[in-house]
Chain A
Amino acid sequence: MDLFEYQGKQLLARFGVPVSAGEAVETVDDAVAAAERLGFPVVVKAQVQVGGRGKAGGIKLADSGDQTRQHASNILGMDIKGHVVRTVWIEKASDISEEYYASFTLDRAAKKHLGMVSAKGGVDIEAVADEDPAAIARVHIDPLVGIEDYHCRQLVFGARLNPAARSGAIAVLKQLYKAFVALDADLVEVNPLILTPDGRVHALDAKVSLDDNAAYRHPEFEALRSLSSLDPRERAARERGLNYIGLDGEVGIIGNGAGLVMSTLDVVNQAGGQAANFLDVGGGAGAKTIANALEVITADPKVRSVLINIFGGITRCDLVAQGILDGFGTIDVKVPVVVRLDGTSAEEGRAILAASPRDGLMSAATMLEAAARAVELAKSGQEA
């Protein structure tokens, strides 16, 4: 789960990371009131989970209540790369001498925590990594040991930070790492981490991504999630306990197992179509799950056909077939549905479907045949 900047900052502040005072608001009037409480100048910052908001005009300095009003009204409702701004963060403006980059994440290849610091902050770090990899200092940290001072020294000296920033940066790195582990974060990133003219080191931005698998031991995750923007299709699927991701195509997909579903999206694409979604019903899905999945998929107006691709392992194809018939019984399925069943109880499943023919419901023998058929039906449906 990716957090908004202000959520990330508020969490990092709990671990002692210095951040600017600020308030998150959703209306222009509240923005002006917050700015007056904080004292001018302030920065009005769009809260969206996408990079490049500065360039898009989503970050503005304001010296007065009127300027705050003007910027907040421009930014609230602004569309930044498909993300509509619903919240702005009003923050006391900082004096900046230098801008750095700092982050902690998990390095999958090394199976260790990875700390990174660069003196080239405030810009896209991937670009720095491509153009000037030596400008990024990296250190691996054994997750069983945790961070030691030498890790921080290696980062701060390795990145050649201004000597005036050293002790402050080391302190911030230790706090950031503590937050990274204690919050069960996949990533904590501060870009820029600034050095102020009076020698303080301070987080001016925060990107925090939390591990959903750890939600059970962090009751606060749920409140953070409810604030983050979800596709309405994704929300409906989540309420039904389905693993769903909305995409832009016209072929609705239901499958079991993440790899098989990904592969199904690819095969639909090769057949000349585009998937409308990723939906993994998981292992051991029963009739109810399948009927729910069918309901979520067919509620999407862009969907012109549905492809159900099941390879039964723990999942039993006879239960899947029953779920499909149940779905046809309770919801008005207006688009054709192509079903491919293989694996556990596949013959029984196919027999159940064959015994109860429904308009628009058809079987296919293989995954490739099913994909070709679903794409063809989606296209003829569009023409009709």
Chain B
Amino acid sequence: MAIIIDENTRVVVQGLTGREGRFHALRNRDYGTKVVAGVTPGKGGTDVEGIPVFDTVVEAVEATGANAAVIFVPARFAGDAVYEAADAGVGVIVCITEGIPAHDEARFVDYVHLAYPGTVLIGPNCPGLISPGKCNIGIMPGEITLPGGPVGLVSRSGTLTYQAVHELTQRGIGQTTCVGIGGDPVPGTGFIDCLSRFEADPDTVACVMIGEIGGSDEETAAAFIASEMTKPVVAYVAGVTAPAGKKMGHAGAIVSGSKGTAAAKIEALEKAGCRVGRNPSQIGELMAEVLKGT
């Protein structure tokens, strides 16, 4: 099994006719993902290499039975795209777009959660998610993953996720699902939501969690791991040497005063019983040890 997306996921791509949307949607389809529709207002009736394009998401859903949406539209239109996808009734919305104003994000994340509690919003500013061998939505290179589990991975980062997956795959450790929740201040889906899904997934035996400086999501996740999780968690936190007050690329990655430091997050995770790697290679080493013990 996998979490959130699998072989039954049917994807509509918002912004399919744009440069990024086209490139990644076709890569996702090549991977085996069921990319069933695209949406670009005014281009309804055309197609992109056989993928039909519609003017609105609701039309695309009615015509193709799409049950997930991925958003590749520019930041200033991304909020609109999230509302449209949610109101069209898809159960999974993956927002790849980065650079969305935080106030817009706070509003649409709030709306999706209040109006559609069953809908999963991943991102924004995220690489997407992949259930290896079944479905890949977003920009992750599918070829570095290894199907079949037993590890579920959740991460705030993009390329660092690839590095971590690479470390696992190199050691022959496969993955059930890898979720990039994104580096923005208000992610639609957090660590805890993914960890609880992995805890419930019979094929996931252990989890990898990759955090970074800023906010307190890792600490909250540590408390959840300590009280609710039976499956082992290997963690890594980037930004140990990041100075206070400097935003490290991601809008959410900033140490303010004594809050949000990597040291505090690592301490909280270790206290919760996680094995915490000091560099990305150790994620693979520690997971190999953990799996030997299970």
* CA distance in complex: A258, B88 (Å): 33
Which residues of chain B come closer than 8 Å to A266, judged between CB atoms?
238-241, 262, 279
A residues near B24, Cβ cutoff 8 Å: 314
Mark each residue of chain A from 95 to 127: 1 if its CB lies under 8 Å from any CB of chain B, else 0: 000000000001011011100000000000010
The answer to whether A312 and B141 touch across the interface, beta carbons within 8 angstroms, is: yes
Chain A: CB-nearest residue to B246: A245
Shortest C-beta distance, A192 to chain B (Å), equals 19
Query: Is A213 at the interface (CB under 8 A from chain B)?
Result: yes
**Cross-chain contact A258 with B110 (CB below 8 angstroms):** no
CA distance A278 to B258 in the complex (A): 21
Contact between chains at B162 and A143 (CB < 8 Å): no
Taking CB atoms, residues of chain A closer than 8 Å to B265 are: none
Does A217 make an interface contact (CB < 8 A)? yes
Which A residues lie within 8 Å of B248 (CB)? 245, 258, 261-262, 278
> Which positions 209-233 of chain A face chain B at CB distance < 8 Å?
211, 213-214, 216-217
Q: Chain B, 210-236, contact with A by CB distance < 8 Å: what is the 0/1 string?
A: 101101110010000000000000001
B139 touches A313 (CB 8 A): yes
B100 interface residue (CB < 8 Å to A)? yes
Q: Say whether A211 contacts B102, CB under 8 Å.
A: yes
Number of interface residues of A (CB under 8 A): 51
Q: Is B63's CB within 8 Å of the partner chain A?
A: no
Residues of B within 8 A of A143 (CB): 103, 106-107, 110
Whole-angstrom distance between the alpha carbons of A214 and B248 in the complex?
A: 18
Residues of A within 8 A of B210 (CB): 259
Asked if B71 CB lies within 8 Å of chain A CBs, one says no
Are A259's CB and B241's CB within 8 A?
no
Residues of chain B lying within 8 A (CB to CB) of residue A186: 102
Contact B216 A108 (CB under 8 A): yes
CB-CB contacts below 8 Å: A266-314 with B? 266-270, 274-275, 278, 280, 283, 311-314
Interface residues of B in 67-106 (CB under 8 A from A): 75-76, 99-103, 106
If A259-B250, A266-B239, A311-B166 touch, whether A111 touches B159 (CB-CB below 8 Å) is: no
Does residue A326 face the partner (Cβ distance < 8 Å to B)?
A: no
A108 touches B215 (CB 8 A): yes
CB distance from B216 to the nearest CB of A (A): 6
The interface residues of chain A lying within 8 Å CB-to-CB of B106 are 106, 111-113, 143
Report the Cα distance A275→B242, complex, angstroms: 10
Question: Closest approach, in angstroms, between the C-beta of A82 and any C-beta of chain B?
Answer: 12
B102 near A270 (CB under 8 angstroms)?
no
The majority secondary structure among interface residues of chain A is: mixed
Assess whether B281 is in contact with A366, with CB atoms less than 8 Å apart.
yes
Residue A368 lies at the interface, judged by CB distance under 8 Å to chain B: yes
State the CA gap A152–B262 with chains docked (Å).
35
Bound-state CA distance A257–B253 (Å) is: 12
Across-interface contacts of A211 in B (CB, < 8 A):
101-103, 251
A345 CA to B284 CA, complexed, in Å? 23
- Is A344 at the interface (CB under 8 A from chain B)? yes
User: Are A213 and B127 interface neighbours, CB within 8 A?
Assistant: no
Which chain A residues have a beta carbon within 8 Å of chain B's beta carbons? 106, 108-109, 111-113, 126, 142-144, 181, 184, 186, 211, 213-214, 216-217, 243, 245, 247, 255-263, 265-270, 274-275, 278, 280, 283, 311-314, 342-344, 366-368
Q: List 16 A–B pairs whose Cβ atoms lie within 8 Å, in order of A's numbering.
A: A142-B110, A211-B101, A211-B102, A211-B251, A213-B75, A214-B103, A258-B250, A259-B159, A259-B253, A261-B249, A262-B249, A270-B279, A280-B249, A313-B159, A342-B163, A368-B279
B-side interface residues toward A, CB under 8 Å?
A: 23-24, 75-76, 99-103, 106-107, 109-111, 113-114, 127, 139-141, 144, 155-163, 166, 183, 185-186, 210, 212-213, 215-217, 220, 236, 238-243, 246-253, 257-258, 262, 278-281
Beyond A260-B159, A344-B141, 9 extra complex contacts between A and B, CB < 8 Å: A108-B215, A143-B103, A256-B159, A257-B159, A257-B249, A260-B238, A266-B241, A283-B139, A311-B159
